[in-house]
Homo-oligomer: A and B are copies of this chain.
Amino acid sequence: MVLVFVTGNGHKFQEASCLFSQMGIDLEQADLGYPEVQADSLEEVAEFGIAWCKEKLKKPCFIEDAGIFIDVLNGFPGPYSKYVFQRIGNQGILKLLDDKMNRQATFRSVIALQDGLSTHLFIGETKGRIAHEAMGTGGFGYDPIFIPEKNDRTFAQMGMEEKNQLSHRGKSLYKLVNHFKERK
């Protein structure tokens, strides 16, 4: 079986490819630049995107979208995490929170799979808090300011294996892989 992961992110593709090869499923990468719609939830973004990919590819495929939702900022930056990071960065987020006691945040990953018959969503969530300063050099994006719960180090202070076991994307990919295992 061949499955297409529609993404321009080589790092994400490697992560998923490794998981799937162990199951005898060949993962192909397609960098289609599918449209990401403005919406309040990652689920809407993913459902709109996968419908577009289905029309374009006409074979089984999935996409993944992720974001960080900060409680005291009403879920900001949420579905716009990438854009916000490029514009105001971790320093902007730390500034918005500098007088806030509540630093709870959730990293979310949504995978939308189109198997030719229907669309399936797989959600991965990791709760945690925003640090008071950026720490660590690993990972990317908001990793240096996110401390997963029951931890005192940020994602950027962890090795990739440790991060993947705790991370939102690790969880959604794990559910996707299980979906295929159950159908075998």
Contact = CB atoms under 8 A, between A and B. Distances in A.
Number of copies: 2
Given A83-B80, A92-B96, A95-B95, A48 B35 contact: yes
Interface residues of A toward B: which range? 20 to 34
Interface stretch (A17-25, A68-76, A174-182): A68-76
A79 B80 CA distance: 11
A87 B92 contact: no
A38 B80 contact: yes
A150 to B, nearest CB: 28
Interface string A50-93: 00000000000000000000000111111110011011100010
| Pairs of residues from A and B, 8 with the lowest C-beta to C-beta distance, nearest first | A76-B87, A36-B38, A74-B87, A35-B37, A80-B80, A76-B88, A38-B38, A73-B88
Interface of A: 35-38, 40, 45, 48, 73-80, 83-84, 86-88, 92, 95-96
